[in-house]
Structure 1
Amino acid sequence: MKFSNGYWLTRPGVTPLYAREVYELAAHADTESLNVLATGALIHDRANTLNLGTFDVDITSPIEGVLRVTARHFDGSHVTPGFDLAADIAEEALVAQDPHAPSHRDYVTTHAEGSGDGETGEKGATVELVSGAITARMTKTAPWNLEFLDSDTGKVFTSSGNKGLAYYQLSDNAAVASNPVGQFGASPDGRASRESHTYTSFQFALGVGEKIFGFGEQFGTYVKNGQTIDIWNEDGGTASEQAYKNVPFYMSTAGYGVLVNNRGHVSFEVGSESTDLLQFSVPGEVLDFYVIYGPSPKDVLRRYTKLIGRPAMVPAWSFGLWLTTSFTTKYDEKTINSFVDGMAQRDIPLSAFHYDCYWMREFHWTDFVWDERYFGDIESTLKRLHEDKGLHICAWINPYIGQRGALFKEARDKGYLVKKPNGDVWQTDLWQAGMGLVDFTNPAATEWFKEQVRGLLRQGVDAIKTDFGERIPLDVVWYDGSDPASMHNWYTQLYNQAVFETIEEVYGKGKAVLYARSATAGGQKFPVHWGGDCESTFNGMAQTLRAGLSLTSSGFGYWSHDIGGFEGQSLDSAVYKRWLAFGLLGSHSRLHGSTMYRVPWLFDEADEKNGVTFPENETAVGVARKFTKLKLSLMPYLYEVALQAHRDGIPVMRSMFLEFSDDLTARTLDTQYMLGPSLLVAPVFNYEGTVDYYLPAGLWTNFFTGEAVSSAHGVWRHDTVGFDEIPLWIRENTILPICAGANKPDYDYTSDVKLLISLSAEPGSIVSTVIETEDGKRVEYKAARRVGGSLEVTTSDGSEPEWEEI
């Protein structure tokens, strides 16, 4: 949110209070903290201390490499809650086990120059708080100053200077726009003062050439410089500034990340108010944020996900192809079998079938009751799909309870729905007539909702699509008294957590999987998430990839999207086939559309009707078959990469910046990506089949053709590829395990495996990889370059797998 009017002025109706001087400054070894009193004006004598606003600033460290900054103007006002931090929970568990255990913050030290420990006395005195790799430093002087340094090198990687900490008071008609104006927003005229009359902001310096990434699922360019980003979940499609999964976290090419610890509306100006500053602001009197150091982006993500939580591991079957016929299908068994059998007849392996909205009767969503007009004995139907077709089953739900549904009266009478201030149930006709909203701040309502989910699981459902969760009103009262503004984004966390925990309770840890649309910081703990309602166009496909890169740069380990696009009625086989190649080279893959089926033969039939023919390998059926089987063959590699996401927070799909952060060209790219550490993917976004992409320095081998490209400084490529191709390159010093005959995603990855080995020609070079299976089997494979150039391949279990040097 912009408070300034150019460089010199503030906007009409805005009264600022800036931190001008670090007046008191103390380092406390006993509490491992720094404490600052910053004044809103320079203090020349005692009279200057009257009628003056101040800021209390505390700096602490929750885990090594992370510093927390809390700035307060007024201490007696409401504070928007922060996120549930995994680090806090871990510390509580440690203390509960052994109250005398060493502090997990033994890495934290304080240092003061000017007057020793405690309060510094004279101007120019400095204090430091060191947390392993990161150091915060402040000097008792004017103007306001706060520096963050690499503890080893002493290099300042970011800082906050004059006016860097500010507090703003807004008049009723202040000329400050507020972006989150959605259907249930509090400011229908876009006026920020409707949300709050006070805001607190902080600014970090942006270095020359510094780039910023993240903020959750954002559909604009991957590099966020120049953008205004409001953390406010909305159901806005994929072609606007709105997003389903907003996360107040970003990463910088300077080697650090920032999490603003606020569940409500956070507004970021990324070089968009002042070109050399990144500003974030929140309503109210208190600002709380974490600075997370790397210096590599992977280290930033490791520390960030250690702080906020890492993705749960999901079952191996979920990595296969999911099919849902369409948004509007009448899901009778005959219709389902026609599509499921059609895929089998065309030798396209399916792993899961998804029932979307209309498994429930219209106007009844969500009542968890199968539409009796089309379903008789649903348990028998699902059993046949499991046993006869070998499928897993997913069912769609949302947290909205339609008035005509079987559950509305019960939820209303028991107080399980969100209420208006006057005590009435909050209702709307948007989406389902008269629908109410489940109040997940009420433990009884949460347990009631979980029991409805258990009912589905008992019937034979394996996974749940948790749709919606963004349309959360502000003119309501929550059971636990939560601030409505803080619940708008946080609601999705409670919703997805309730459903994910229920699946875990029934099937066990590592066996639960969602297909969720909305999320906030920490939502990665309840995977998987998909990219929302994208258009069936090449632009829609590119928007989707950009969003995925931003989301996986924000702590989310797994990600999916609607292959072929969701919106759009054109049977455009070119878009569909290019999207198949892209969508099946990711962690999770689903065919889904709005009013049109996304099964491949319909696209081929449309082409034939229009007099367009392709060779079998370039038909939609041929492309779907090839890339589905390719993904299944890569499962020994993909499953190990997925385990990295679960254990370390490093995502399956990675931006080029994440994998090649020192490459100035690679860090800005958002039309290609890395699938794990070893495979580079460059989707095709046009009818001509042309693609421009970049191979960073090193040796790369084309997966399909075997072509080798070596460059000392990186090279751009311009290729034209058929529909059955995609630029897919294997990185040097890789052992890529594949099982070419795989026809499902869950199998013994160590059996009949073939190793594709790319290793430096330098004698003594060694590369290794590990294959793990869902049942815990683990085998390490190692290749070493002998003197003379030959390879020696060894395994930890003594097996002799087939291998090939590429």
Structure 2
Amino acid sequence: MSNAFSVTEPDWNSIKAADITASPYLKDDHHLAVPTQYGSLLFSISQFGLRIQSGGENATLDDGFDYGMLITTPDTQQLVFTGDEQHCTVNAGDYRLALFSAPLHFKLYRNDIVVQESATDGHFVRQHRLPPFAKTDAGWIVCLELGDDESIYGLGEKWGKLDKRGQLVRSYNHDALGVNTEKSYKNTPYAWSPEGWNLFVHTPTPVTHGVGYAPWSQRAYVCVVEDTLLDMFLYHCDSPAKSIHTYSSLTGFAPVPPKWSLGVILSKAYYKDSQELLAVAREVREKNMPCDVITLDGRAWQDTDTRFAFEWDPTRYADPKPVLDELKAMDFKICVWEYPMISVKNPLYAKAAEKGWLIKDKRTGEAYRYEWDLSPFGEVLTPLPDSGILDFTHPDAYEFWKESHKPLFELGVDMIKADFGEQLEDDNMLSYSGDSGDRLHNVYSMLYNRCVYEAAEKYCKTGPFLFSRSAWTGSQRFPAQWGGDPQADWHGLAASIRGSLSWGMSGGPFFATDIGGFYKDTRDAELYVRWAQASVFSAHMRLHGIGPREPWSYGEAASDAVFNALKLRYRLLPYLEKATQQASETGLPVQRSMALAFPNDPLASQFEQQFMCGESLLVVPCIVPGGKVKFYLPEGDWVRFNAASTSPTDEDTYQGGKYYEQILGLNELAVFVRKGEQVVLGPEVEHTEMDMSATTMWP
């Protein structure tokens, strides 16, 4: 069903709006049933505001199979009902819902103030040009009102403007092959307005959002749920922070990641054998580079032709234990790559297929053979064999995959890079749960994330942590995520920052990017430095891409600047630990966009590249060559942050409520702290196994 809805303007005249066909009635004390020609819609009110569901009170999203996107069952409140078929109201707590007929439309109030209502986009011949509620072959359509200058945020990891107003956004996970289009790896159909209302669609399916999208309607939020079922929450909060906290209360908070994960993660695609891996690790320690984790990426430890089966390539790692032991002796944590595919050339494929652990082909009943389309990758990706896709909806397959991680963790692995997960994209794919591949497509990422995270919880001696590329509603409970494959240029840096902030505005508090850019080894030393400096203030920090990412590989000047950035990162670890703890408790991301951090300052939200790291550090990344930065400081006095100087001068003080432009030297950062606030700093260390107990306050 995911391709059934056109991204061009639908023929609104041909879409029949839902209407009340019989008097609404209280199905029970907590649910109002509204009969329509598409079946009854149920309305209930809870601590999560208004919930609208289709198909009757006992219908479930997945026809009986629980994917666990929600962590709590809303505590529905008793409804007080008045009215008739033409106009009725229900009251519960602070909320009042008014429903009207011909066609069915609504107004939702909180404390007698309108929170949200059906779109008022009118027409010469009918009251609503867009259907307030409708059902088509593509799924459910719900059209909501947008204020004339209202902004909308959220909807997952998106690379363009944070304010989604005017955009057509599709909540559908893609192997996006970069950060240059609307396509992204991490999506969730959750959006919020600075005016206080929030929309969350509880579904595993794709959702298309026309957010004041002019070809449809510049004054309406058109939500197309590409499913036969509808389950939607609308609620109001007094601040964006409370909005995200409410969403996280419904879909889950992220646990606090281990301290070592906040250190530097070193990687590249890829260290070809154990000799190269160990040589780099030794050089890192010899040069006193701050670093905690070293990564064996996709081709580094697996035979590409037979992956993935938890096997070390015997031609390069006949006995991996001595290699990992040496890395451990140098105080490295170890990350290894995986994806949920099994090559048809591996004996495990036949075993898994026989047991029913792989996604099946509806046409044959056999295991589905996924054929890779390698044309978009060019020479970047080694040709991959036909593969089976593990079915995480099958309890035995889920348990097998989880338990298969045990030998890795016992060997000394600390972290999994859970790559891919976007390959269920064919209606001919059939899961154990009974869903087609297309309907399972998005939530599959979350099931994959959860399985690997549970394995780490059970067997990893240093604390559970993973990097996932693909994510859906609920994936924030299994941290962390990284931002895919950015192009190694300045646009790639800027888009990666926007993606991290957008994910943070969507309930995902932890994020990392590929420092230096993943695609094309451009050896742009200035870009590498600025990317590293910006990433000091992200939740996690990884040097990764095609080609070496060690600082000295970019030349002496770049190496010196990046070393300074890495040293600052480690001095900030006590501060970052506090930020991750707060994220786990509140849902607020470590990187907070200006719209999220300063909701009452209308100018702040216009500066979408700068952000707050935690509560105190205002960060202005340099995203163009030459060092020029343009930034805005909110009201109040601000002090330029420099960890090396504990006594800021008058020249370091800036007046807020003003716009600034500056040229930064290669070693300079534009980071600011409100005057009077302090930042806790730790000692200079090379990894988190060292003594980090000595802390100081800046300034």
Look up the match of 1:24: 23
TM-score normalised per structure 1: 0.78
CA–CA distance in 1 between the matches of 2:139 and 2:436? 16
CA–CA distance in 2 between the matches of 1:586 and 1:746? 21
State how 1:448-527 maps to structure 2 within 5 Å. Answer: 448-474=400-426, 475-507=428-460, 511-527=463-479
Q: How many residues align?
A: 664
Tell me the CA shift for residue 286 of structure 1: 3.0
Q: Is residue 22–residue 144 contact of structure 1 (8 Å, CA) maintained in 2? A: no
CA separation of 1:407/1:718 partners in 2, compared to 1, >3 Å: closer, same or farther? same
Look up the match of 1:291: 234
State how 1:252-291 maps to structure 2 within 5 Å. Answer: 252-272=193-213, 273-291=216-234
Look up the match of 2:113: 155
Q: 1:231 aligns with which of 159, 171, 176?
A: 171
CA–CA distance in 2 between the matches of 1:409 and 1:141? 57
Look up the match of 1:774: none
Q: Is residue 202–residue 279 contact of structure 1 (8 Å, CA) maintained in 2? A: yes
Look up the match of 1:67: 50
Tell me the CA shift for residue 597 of structure 1: 1.1
Look up the match of 1:742: 685
Q: Which amino acid in the other structure matches residue 15 of structure 2?
A: P
Look up the match of 1:380: 322
Q: 2:662 aligns with which of 716, 719, 734?
A: 719
CA–CA distance in 2 between the matches of 1:503 and 1:124? 54
Q: Is residue 74–residue 285 contact of structure 1 (8 Å, CA) maintained in 2? A: no
Look up the match of 2:11: 10
CA separation of 1:76/1:742 partners in 2, compared to 1, >3 Å: closer, same or farther? closer
Q: Which amino acid in the other structure matches residue 737 of structure 1?
A: V
CA–CA distance in 2 between the matches of 1:569 and 1:167? 49
State how 1:385-400 maps to structure 2 within 5 Å. Answer: 385-387=327-329, 389-400=330-341
CA separation of 1:3/1:719 partners in 2, compared to 1, >3 Å: closer, same or farther? same
CA separation of 1:371/1:635 partners in 2, compared to 1, >3 Å: closer, same or farther? same
Q: Give the share of equivalent positions with the same residue, in percent.
A: 28
Look up the match of 1:792: none
| SS class of match (1:34) | strand
CA separation of 1:447/1:127 partners in 2, compared to 1, >3 Å: closer, same or farther? closer
User: 1 or 2 for the larger relative contact order (CA 8 Å, sep ≥6)?
Assistant: 2
Q: 1:599 aligns with which of 544, 550, 559?
A: 550
Tell me the CA shift for residue 599 of structure 1: 1.1
Tell me the CA shift for residue 77 of structure 1: 11
| SS class of match (2:280) | helix
CA–CA distance in 1 between the matches of 2:466 and 2:495? 23
CA–CA distance in 2 between the matches of 1:738 and 1:4? 50
CA separation of 1:585/1:701 partners in 2, compared to 1, >3 Å: closer, same or farther? same
Tell me the CA shift for residue 633 of structure 1: 0.8
Q: Which amino acid in the other structure matches residue 108 of structure 2?
A: F
CA–CA distance in 2 between the matches of 1:83 and 1:215? 20
| SS class of match (1:147) | strand
Look up the match of 2:139: 199
Q: 1:690 aligns with which of 601, 607, 628?
A: 628
Tell me the CA shift for residue 327 of structure 1: 1.5
Look up the match of 2:573: 635
CA separation of 1:732/1:289 partners in 2, compared to 1, >3 Å: closer, same or farther? farther
Deviations, residues 219-256 of structure 1 (Å, cap 9, x unaligned): 12111111111111111221112111111111111112
CA separation of 1:400/1:65 partners in 2, compared to 1, >3 Å: closer, same or farther? closer
Q: Is residue 144–residue 221 contact of structure 2 (8 Å, CA) maintained in 1? A: yes
5+ long unaligned stretches in structure 1 = 39-52, 92-103, 170-196, 605-615, 757-803
CA separation of 1:328/1:121 partners in 2, compared to 1, >3 Å: closer, same or farther? closer
Q: Is residue 429–residue 436 contact of structure 2 (8 Å, CA) maintained in 1? A: no
Q: Is residue 208–residue 223 contact of structure 2 (8 Å, CA) maintained in 1? A: yes
Q: Is residue 297–residue 658 contact of structure 1 (8 Å, CA) maintained in 2? A: yes
Deviations, residues 736-794 of structure 1 (Å, cap 9, x unaligned): 11124333346776x322122xxxxxxxxxxxxxxxxxxxxxxxxxxxxxxxxxxxxxx
Look up the match of 1:537: 489
CA separation of 1:709/1:406 partners in 2, compared to 1, >3 Å: closer, same or farther? farther
CA separation of 1:125/1:451 partners in 2, compared to 1, >3 Å: closer, same or farther? closer
| SS class of match (1:259) | strand
Residue 138 (str. 1) matches residue 137 (str. 2): no
Tell me the CA shift for residue 453 of structure 1: 1.3
Deviations, residues 4-23 of structure 1 (Å, cap 9, x unaligned): 997xx926xx7322135696
Q: Is residue 156–residue 186 contact of structure 2 (8 Å, CA) maintained in 1? A: yes
Look up the match of 1:786: none
CA–CA distance in 2 between the matches of 1:232 and 1:5? 17
| SS class of match (1:244) | coil
CA–CA distance in 2 between the matches of 1:661 and 1:322? 33
Tell me the CA shift for residue 79 of structure 1: 6.0
Q: Which amino acid in the other structure matches residue 243 of structure 2?
A: V
CA–CA distance in 2 between the matches of 1:494 and 1:633? 36
State how 1:87-236 maps to structure 2 within 5 Å. Answer: 87-88=71-72, 108-112=77-81, 115=82, 120-121=83-84, 125-130=88-93, 132=94, 135-140=95-100, 142=102, 144-151=104-111, 154-161=112-119, 162=128, 163-169=130-136, 197-236=137-176
Q: Is residue 281–residue 327 contact of structure 2 (8 Å, CA) maintained in 1? A: no
Q: Which amino acid in the other structure matches residue 559 of structure 1?
A: F
CA separation of 1:667/1:23 partners in 2, compared to 1, >3 Å: closer, same or farther? farther
CA–CA distance in 1 between the matches of 2:309 and 2:562? 35
Tell me the CA shift for residue 432 of structure 1: 2.2
Deviations, residues 690-718 of structure 1 (Å, cap 9, x unaligned): 01011111121110273444546x11110
CA–CA distance in 2 between the matches of 1:632 and 1:313? 18
CA–CA distance in 2 between the matches of 1:231 and 1:319? 29
Look up the match of 2:386: 434
Give RMSD over aligned pairs.
2.7
Q: Is residue 70–residue 474 contact of structure 2 (8 Å, CA) maintained in 1? A: no
CA–CA distance in 2 between the matches of 1:297 and 1:461? 38
CA separation of 1:567/1:639 partners in 2, compared to 1, >3 Å: closer, same or farther? same
Q: Which amino acid in the other structure matches residue 201 of structure 1?
A: I
| SS class of match (2:155) | strand
| SS class of match (1:18) | coil
Greater gyration radius: 1
Tell me the CA shift for residue 532 of structure 1: 0.1
Q: Which amino acid in the other structure matches residue 30 of structure 2?
A: E
Tell me the CA shift for residue 168 of structure 1: 4.5
CA–CA distance in 2 between the matches of 1:292 and 1:456? 44
Q: Is residue 278–residue 323 contact of structure 2 (8 Å, CA) maintained in 1? A: no
Tell me the CA shift for residue 353 of structure 1: 0.5
Tell me the CA shift for residue 466 of structure 1: 0.3
CA–CA distance in 1 between the matches of 2:697 and 2:516? 32
Q: Is residue 301–residue 650 contact of structure 1 (8 Å, CA) maintained in 2? A: yes
CA–CA distance in 2 between the matches of 1:77 and 1:633? 49
Q: 1:646 aligns with which of 574, 578, 584?
A: 584
| SS class of match (1:220) | coil
Tell me the CA shift for residue 86 of structure 1: 4.2
Q: Is residue 83–residue 262 contact of structure 1 (8 Å, CA) maintained in 2? A: no
Deviations, residues 30-82 of structure 1 (Å, cap 9, x unaligned): 633333345xxxxxxxxxxxxxx3552222234x2432112459999996778
Look up the match of 1:346: 287
| SS class of match (2:492) | helix
5+ long unaligned stretches in structure 2 = 120-127, 373-382
Q: 2:269 aligns with which of 317, 322, 327?
A: 327
Q: 1:34 aligns with which of 6, 13, 32?
A: 32
CA–CA distance in 2 between the matches of 1:730 and 1:78? 46
CA–CA distance in 2 between the matches of 1:685 and 1:270? 27
Look up the match of 2:360: 419
Q: Which moved more, 1:531-540 or 1:622-631?
A: 622-631
CA–CA distance in 1 between the matches of 2:631 and 2:683? 27
Tell me the CA shift for residue 199 of structure 1: 2.3
Q: Is residue 420–residue 470 contact of structure 2 (8 Å, CA) maintained in 1? A: yes
| SS class of match (1:436) | strand
Look up the match of 1:668: 606
